[in-house]
Amino acid sequence: MPEHQHTPALHSTAPRRAAVVGGGISGLLAALDLQAAGWQVGVYDAAASWGGCVGVHEVAGVELDSGAESFATRSTAVAELAEELGLAGKIVTPDPAGAWVWLPDGPVPLPRTGILGIPSDLHAPEVRAALGASGILRATLDAKMSASVGTTEAVLSVAELVRARMGRRVLERLVAPVVGGVHSADPEVLDVDMVAPGLRAGIREHGSLAAAVAALRASGSKPGSAVGGLDGGMHTLVAALVERLRANGVALHSGHAVTRISRPAKSRHDAGAPVPWTVDWEAGRDSGSESVDVLVVATDGPTAVKLLAAEVPELLPFAPAPGPDIRLVTLVVDVPELDSKPRGTGILVAPQVEGISAKALTHATAKWDWLADSTGPGTHVLRLSYGRSGVAAADAVRLTARPVDGAALTATALADASTLLGVPITDADVLGSDIVRWRGALPFAAVGHQGRVAQIHALAQQQPGLVLAGGWMSGNGLAAVVAGTRRQVRALVDAATE
């Protein structure tokens, strides 16, 4: 029997109520900050578990991150949140061995001082090994050309910027593999300002792309290391956040898909009283609705626009394309030869490489000491990812030609892992495996995305009590999402306080 819970309309004297749609890191954090600012908050997530892309799964008895497994330390946002949640002592840095990149002519160590694969030090031996003499020669022109190259008003893709300043070899051999691994996308179509905020301004300030990368690397919370993690996995951040929300009395509704967002006509309300937002939800055969004066929509972009279509139809032209269909294959294997970490923390695959379908392999037990300690010597966790969007036609054919059924994909992953690590790994070595499909979860920041986001913010601001948050608004990655969500919620709280 469907259950209908209608909360009475709000008046200025009623306790302030807020609803958050989407319980990924963005929605959970929005709830934390709204509750702290005095709101009575309810969070709705369609999934049975919390955290969205920061998920957890168990493979061969080991609890592992099923999505995000690290955070960028170019800002202090994630570290501060972890500290706030009592996890300061759990922040860890990855093994310094660094990662590798598989180029059409074989594997080479990935330069460590880059951002998105763009090197800051062209004299580093790994940069030389990856680019060769001619590639280095072209890349050094970056320091000689005008700071205006790539920094004018024109919106640029990552590829355009890199090609203009450092040349094609840097793009193809360093940037494309990293961008494919991190953003599951082709640099030709990714908005540089969205995926590397501050980079173009850095060129103007420091005179070259290499210097801008060096400055950005030095400004992070952990200079020298681009990412951090948590002992126990990134999913422990979600667990701590959920525990805090529960303790603070936030109403947590998992398994509740929001199906509609509406606002009653203003005329039906007292003049001057805020017009509430109404959120309709469905949970199995139950359904209901809640009316609130503040609404945070922290789902993926296409869903947010769809849910708001009736009330804010102006958003429709800004609906982003769905993100790529990504599959992560996790293998827990018993292969003592991998104790030597043959490819450091993992390896990225350049798109032009034939015969390997994976775009990246993370050797998780080589990357994180806490994980190696928990599995013990000889046992290894390998994570291979498949699928990218915005790929060139030839690459798309290669990807779609790959089998998608589970057993075949696991077999492909075993073959890819053997090639990439240079160690044969067979079915008999596998202690456990799992395939996680992330469909549309990674927002796709196509060229011009940042401009469109600014317009979306402006449209949302015209709707009192509405915030749009999450990866599609802030940029992909935990650092961007945490900082962006907090900024947005702070603006809303300030506006409400005024």
Ligand X SMILES: Cc1cc2nc3c(=O)[nH]c(=O)nc-3n(C[C@H](O)[C@H](O)[C@H](O)COP(=O)(O)OP(=O)(O)OC[C@H]3O[C@@H](n4cnc5c(N)ncnc54)[C@H](O)[C@@H]3O)c2cc1C
- Interacting positions 94-113 with ligand X (CB under 6 A): none
User: Of 127 and 196, which has the nearer Cβ to ligand X?
Assistant: 196
What count of other Cβ atoms lies within 10 Å of the Cβ of residue 496? Answer: 18
**What sign for the dihedral angle of Cα 129, 133, 137, 138?**
negative
CA dist 43 → 210, 447, 489 (Å): 43, 32, 15
Smallest gap from Cβ 298 to ligand X, in A, equals: 5
What count of other Cβ atoms lies within 10 Å of the Cβ of residue 242? Answer: 21
Do 464 and 274 touch, CB atoms closer than 8 A?
yes
Span near ligand X by CB under 6 A; candidates 7-15, 284-292, 295-303, 486-494: 295-303
Do 245 and 252 touch, CB atoms closer than 8 A?
yes
User: Of 114 and 167, which has the nearer Cβ to ligand X?
Assistant: 114
Residue in 33, 186, 290, 300 binding ligand X, rule: CB under 6 A = 300
SS3 category, 356:
coil
Q: Which x/- pattern over 314-333 shows residues binding ligand X (rule: CB under 6 A)? A: ------------x-x-----
DSSP-derived secondary structure letter, 276: P
User: Of 28 and 101, which has the nearer Cβ to ligand X?
Assistant: 28
Smallest gap from Cβ 318 to ligand X, in A, equals: 17
User: Of 23 and 232, which has the nearer Cβ to ligand X?
Assistant: 23
Indicate whether 299 belongs to the interface with ligand X (CB under 6 A): yes
Angle at 337 between CA 114 and CA 403, to 5 degrees: 70
Indicate whether 47 belongs to the interface with ligand X (CB under 6 A): yes
User: Of 82 and 481, which has the nearer Cβ to ligand X?
Assistant: 481
DSSP-derived secondary structure letter, 22: -
Do 189 and 390 touch, CB atoms closer than 8 A?
yes
What is the C-alpha radius of gyration for the chain, rounded to an integer number of angstroms? 23
Smallest gap from Cβ 256 to ligand X, in A, equals: 6
Smallest gap from Cβ 78 to ligand X, in A, equals: 8
Smallest gap from Cβ 326 to ligand X, in A, equals: 6
Indicate whether 46 belongs to the interface with ligand X (CB under 6 A): yes
Q: 84 phi and psi, to 5 degrees?
A: -60, -30
Give residues with Cβ within 8 angstroms of 415, minimum separation 6. none
Indicate whether 69 belongs to the interface with ligand X (CB under 6 A): yes
Indicate whether 27 belongs to the interface with ligand X (CB under 6 A): yes
Q: Please, what is the end-to-end C-alpha distance for the chain in angstroms?
A: 43
Q: 108 phi and psi, to 5 degrees?
A: -140, 155
CA nearest to 36, candidates 21, 50, 10, 18: 18
SS3 category, 157:
strand
User: Of 210 and 366, which has the nearer Cβ to ligand X?
Assistant: 366
User: Of 161 and 261, which has the nearer Cβ to ligand X?
Assistant: 261
> For ligand X, how many residues bind (rule: CB under 6 A)?
38
Span near ligand X by CB under 6 A; candidates 170-178, 238-246, 294-302, 394-402: 294-302
Name 100's bridge partners: 109, 347
The half-sphere exposure of 147 on its side-chain side, counting CA atoms within 13 A, is 12
User: Of 265 and 454, which has the nearer Cβ to ligand X?
Assistant: 454
- Of all helices (H) and strands (E), which one includes residue 348? strand 346-349
Smallest gap from Cβ 385 to ligand X, in A, equals: 7
Smallest gap from Cβ 143 to ligand X, in A, equals: 30
Span near ligand X by CB under 6 A; candidates 41-49, 185-193, 216-224, 400-408: 41-49
User: Of 116 and 335, which has the nearer Cβ to ligand X?
Assistant: 116
**DSSP secondary structure, 59-85, as one string:** ETTEEEESS---EE-SSSHHHHHHHHT
CA nearest to 282, candidates 246, 307, 318: 307
Indicate whether 68 belongs to the interface with ligand X (CB under 6 A): yes
Residue in 17, 26, 100, 453 binding ligand X, rule: CB under 6 A = 26
Residue in 18, 23, 343, 363 binding ligand X, rule: CB under 6 A = 23
Indicate whether 386 belongs to the interface with ligand X (CB under 6 A): no
Q: Which amino acid is at 303?
A: T
Span near ligand X by CB under 6 A; candidates 62-70, 165-173, 401-409, 426-434: 62-70
Q: Token pair of 222, please?
A: 């952990």
What count of other Cβ atoms lies within 10 Å of the Cβ of residue 211? Answer: 17
Smallest gap from Cβ 281 to ligand X, in A, equals: 7
Indicate whether 53 belongs to the interface with ligand X (CB under 6 A): yes
Smallest gap from Cβ 362 to ligand X, in A, equals: 9
- Interacting positions 249-268 with ligand X (CB under 6 A): 257-258
- Interacting positions 124-143 with ligand X (CB under 6 A): none
Q: Token pair of 427, please?
A: 């079915």
- Interacting positions 429-488 with ligand X (CB under 6 A): 438, 441-442, 470-471, 476-479, 481
Q: Which residues bind ligand X (CB under 6 A)?
A: 21-27, 44-47, 52-54, 67-72, 257-258, 298-300, 303, 326, 328, 438, 441-442, 470-471, 476-479, 481
